[in-house]
Structure 1
């Protein structure tokens, strides 16, 4: 999602809300993850003691196209726990939260949780392996304040969540050790944190990534650089944001295919059928398949559990 477009996101929110927890949770603590990957983590930590709603849920649509509606405002007004990303990614939620104050409500701003400045250039924090363990711990702490009787359950679930991140951490470490020198082109900085953790050399100028992310016209020389990378064997893989496309990014995708550069699709919104951990592991596996088997994974499909 664009940072600079956040001024337009006063019209944001889900046209369809996803209830991540089961029907038995109707009496649980009402909680919201603005992005569905955060909602998924809340549900994993809270278990049967939370009723979780996600607002941004559809990985097949541009997340900038959501529109605010009264139901979203009502959901936020009723929530006792809210997790949002920050760094300009979901500023619209700040305005709704401020407009519907509630005594005792807990709000976790992931940017603030991680101590990141407003100038942080890449808002896609959930691709950083350090992010969600910190979020899970904060969720457990806030739920314990809201429901002290089940604090031990929340703490145990947070410990279980952290352990469930091990396969992703191991996959990143194994890729970094086994495939040094891998280079990629990207269309946006969506997966950059994960790529950097895996030791990948991102060849695309960040100025091009930011321009596409922010919906501004990239410098012609940056476009030329990207096309040269894809048409002259300058990279091993194209990491392509499947969720936000335009004619320019489509031209990069076409160039990659024409010159046999494998493509790995990444998302801003967690795809259906995944929990967060399975989604992240699937992205690393797709990268590995691209490097070792020259295999593209443009879309993720699967049903994985932590």
Structure 2
């Protein structure tokens, strides 16, 4: 790689149906230079998330990614040149870096991060994934000791942490994942009480057998048919934390869920969507707890690191197909 070239991965066209490698292209440009109030940063690691795919469909909590623009994505980066107070060369920051080697951003869009090893933990357990799991379960789900917690996409970056935090809080935890191998891993390695394979058998019947006392908190990363199955098993005054709907992002969306109005009324359920940025002002509290749990061995961090910016499109496609365990990250 030439040191004076900025490689960028462009979204060539908005996908219709499944995301494919030909929807992306690699280009090279000159490295941009910062103006007053701006900072030039070199991207070290890129976070891959199912939400990347949702951004291609239209505006969400952020603007849509438009054709022929740099693919959006969060990342950990190092300050190269600063023309803004409070930032100096060598500082680590989290930002919406995009899929590229370098970018210039206004200082107000940067979050300074501590220097810890491994740096990848700043994108997994101490980053968006960990904060999403922490606040989604504790502040949105309002989980209490002794309750039954079910989490979908349980082997993924957020779900794998949600289940472990629920166990730390004294809950019975059931994960939903794809494939017998992942389900066995959730129980044997991460300490879930049970796991159900949504690809085998009948999800509703299989899950019902594992939650004879119903579900108190459902952490939803999937939506669709999985949400529908969990809704019918919720206890009165149960809580549903709506984190994502990956079943609706890539390809043809599913029809579910049905029965929401009646179930919510009869069982007095609370069903709340959230995004982690709502809780950024409280991230020091989460960071302290997460560090304590990691240090004690109560919280295991699973990372799936792909090497090379050029492999980012394939890595996202693989994530959407469920290839990963834990947090998928690209080392630039």
Please indicate, yes or no, whether the TM-score normalized by the shorter chain is above 0.5. no
Higher Cα radius of gyration: 2
> Greater strand share, 1 or 2?
2
- Tell me the TM-score range normalised by the shorter chain: 0.3 to 0.5
> Greater helix share, 1 or 2?
1
